[in-house]
Structure 1
C-alpha cells in the first residue's frame, strides 16, 4: 500500500485535464501579459508511480514569450504578489541553483491538489528566448472503475 498523505478523489481523465487547463488559465490571467505568445499543447496525463493502474496525475508545462524582458519581469512580479490573494501559498521564491541563478517560484493551491513552478528566464544565452515558464501539476486522482490508464497522455 502507498501513502500519499491524502485519499485520492475519483475523477474522469478528461475532467482532470479540463481542471488543469482551468488552473493554467487562471495562472496566465494572474501573470497578466496580454501580448506575446503562449506555447501549446494543453495538459497531459500520466500515471502516478504509487499505483499506476488506478492513480493518475495531470501536468501542463507552458511558457509566455515574445514580449519585452520588462513585461516578463512585471508579469512574474504580479504572479508573486497575486497568487496568495487567489488561494495559493508560495512555498519557495528566489534564484535557483542554475548557473544563471534564474528566478523561480513554487506555490501550492490551498483549495485544490495543484502545485505550480514558474521561472523567469531573462538575461540568459542569446539563443534562449526570454520567457516565463510555468509548470502546473496536479496531485494524484483515482480513475473511475473500468478506466484503462495504459496509453493515456
Structure 2
C-alpha cells in the first residue's frame, strides 16, 4: 500500500478535529467511537479501500483519484496495543471542474441508496466555506467526509474515510502504515 505523506499531513489534522467522536455515533466523546469488530490492520485497511472504491464509483464523472493508501491511528483513549482505527484520505480531480457542485448534489442523493446515511451537508466552517458532506455507513462501520474545494487552484474533492474502532485478534499486533 502506498501512502503519500503530504496528503495525509495536510488532511489528517483537519480530519482528526472533525472526527473526534466520529459521526458514526451520537456521542461526543472519543471513547464512544463505535466498534467495527475484530480485525487485523491489514484486513481493515482493505475494507477501507473497498469503501473508498465504492465512493469513487459514485462520483460518475471523469477524472483522477490520488494514489494514497489507508493509515492506522489510535482509537480514542483505548489501549493502543489492542484497538485502532483505519483512515483513508484521498482526493479526486475531475477533467472538468465545473461538474463538481452537481457531483456533490448527486452524492448527497445517491449515497443513501448505497447504505450511507447523510448526516451533514452544507458549507464548512473554513474561510472558503467549502461545500462539505458527511455520511455514515453503520453496516460497514465507516464514516466519510467529502469536501468540495472549489477555490483551490485546481478544484477537487477531498475524501476522508474513517472506521470505527477495531480490536486486534489475540496473538496479533497492530501494523502501523
TM bucket, shorter chain: 0.7 to 0.9
2-structure distance, mates of 1:87, 1:66: 25
Q: Aligned match of 1:100 in 104, 107, 128?
A: 128
CA distance in structure 2 between the aligned counterparts of 1:64 and 1:51, rounded to whole angstroms:
34
* Structure 1 residue 147 displacement after superposition: 2.0
Q: Which has the larger helix fraction?
A: 2
Taking the aligned partners of 1:45 and 1:107, their CA distance within structure 2 comes to: 20
Equivalent positions of 1:109-148 (< 5 A) are 109-122=137-150, 124-125=151-152, 128-148=153-173
Partner of 2:53: 25
Matched residues in 1 for 2:135 and 2:39: separation?
Answer: 23
* Count of aligned residue pairs for this structure pair: 147
- When structure 1 is superposed on structure 2, of 69-78 and 133-142 the one drifting more is 69-78
The change in CA–CA distance for 1:8 and 1:51 in structure 2 (over 3 A counts) is farther
CA offset at residue 105 of structure 1? 0.5
TM-score by length of 2: 0.76
1:5 Cα offset (Å): 6.2
Shift of 1:18: 0.7
Structure 1 residue runs of 5 or longer lacking an equivalent are none
SS in 1 for 2:139: coil
Task: Report the CA distance shift for 1:81/1:46 in structure 2 as closer, same or farther (over 3 A).
Answer: same
Larger radius of gyration: 1
Give the conservation status (yes or no) of the 8 Å contact 2:104–2:148. yes
Q: How high is the TM-score relative to the length of structure 1?
A: 0.87
After superposition, the C-alpha distances for 1:77-126 in whole angstroms (9 at most, x for unaligned) are 2211100111111111101111111100111113121100001111x15x
Q: Which moved more, 1:7-16 or 1:132-141?
A: 7-16
- CA distance, structure 2, for counterparts of residue 131 and residue 72 of structure 1: 7
